[in-house]
A and B are shown apart, each in its own frame.
Chain A
Amino acid sequence: MRTIIEFLPDESGDEQALSLIHDIRSKIDSDEDMKQLFIFIMRGLEFLEGHGLGALNEYFIDETEDGFPYTIRLVKELRNHVPLLEFRVNWKNAGAFRCVFFEHRVGDLQVLLMIKAVLKQATYSPEFEKIALESESIYKDFVKNPEKYINFQGVDQYE
């Protein structure tokens, strides 16, 4: 099975999750923490692309520079917004990157559709709750008409 990462556009055609990643990337020259966060976001997304969604319920365990261990759960279910999932990467002062997404199967192809993302600075984030609700609405619309959101032309070549 092959996995494809896709950024879902909203009504205005904006790929919000991708825009936020580009925004983080634009800060790397002046902010070393943003650079690290960007690199780890890319590693996480490339891991999902390479190995699929099996990362669910698993952890990357790392140690901080002072040797204190901490865990990072790469993907987590959003229990109040099933079947939406959350892609998660934390880095020190940069904050906690959270991206709401879901899985869509096309034959043997697993498409991971990234909807909305936020860079949290605190455990509870009203902004995250907002994008979770917006994502749920987009997901419901997607299910009715996937062709509105995804270009299925040439999809056979991925399978």
Chain B
Amino acid sequence: MSKKLGQSFKELKMSAREIPEAREYLDSFSVVVGNLVFARRRALKLSQAELAKLAGTTQAKISNIEAAKQNVTIDTLNGVFSVLGLTQLIPVFNDEQAATHSY
């Protein structure tokens, strides 16, 4: 019980990222976007089919976005985020994972 609140989960997340496939998936743009769309759609109380209709796409495409599948076009994302009312994204970058170039 002496552990700091949330410490075990923090360690688990770090441990997961020692697995290349897990790190690649969990920190992928697809997962970040999928989670954003799912959370925002839920907040707006829209079904996948309703969001798809408003965004001019199909329920399967919304499913693909939320499931973090990688075959999603930028046009589809533009339509979806427009319906969800996105005005700005504030990215958080991890310097330790970022590629660097030395001259």
Check if B53 is an interface residue, CB within 8 A of chain A: no
How far, in whole Å, are A78 and B67 apart by their CA atoms in the complex? 25
Residue A83 is within 8 A (CB to CB) of chain B in the complex: no
Query: Could you say which residues of chain B place their CB within 8 Å of the CB of A39?
Result: 16, 19, 21-22, 25-26
Contact B35–A149 (Cβ < 8 Å): no
Q: Do A49 and B9 have beta carbons less than 8 Å apart?
A: yes
**Total contacts A-B at CB 8 Å:** 92
Contacts of B76 in A (CB 8 A): none
A60 interface residue (CB < 8 Å to B): yes
A88 to B86, CA, bound (A): 29
A155 within 8 A of B: yes
Please judge, given known A-B contacts A35-B19, A51-B35, A60-B38, whether A46 and B5 are in contact too, CB under 8 Å. Answer: no
By a CB distance below 8 angstroms, the chain B residues around A21 are 12
Check B63 against A45 for contact (C-beta < 8 Å): no
Contacts of A45 in B (CB 8 A): 9, 12
B21:A60 contact, CB within 8 angstroms: no
Q: Say yes or no: A42 contacts B38, CB within 8 Å.
A: no
Question: In residues 47-82 of chain B, which contact A (Cβ within 8 Å)?
Answer: 48, 59-60, 63, 66-68
Q: Which residues of A contact B16 (CB under 8 A)?
A: 25, 38-39, 42
B35 to A4, Cβ gap below 8 A? no
Q: Contact check, A4 vs B19: say whether CB atoms are below 8 A apart.
A: no
Q: B1, A149: Cβ atoms under 8 Å?
A: yes
> Lowest 6 CB-CB distances: which A-B pairs, in order?
A5-B9, A4-B6, A51-B39, A62-B67, A61-B63, A42-B16
**6 pairs, CB–CB < 8 Å, chain A vs chain B:** A38-B16, A38-B19, A42-B13, A51-B39, A149-B1, A158-B6
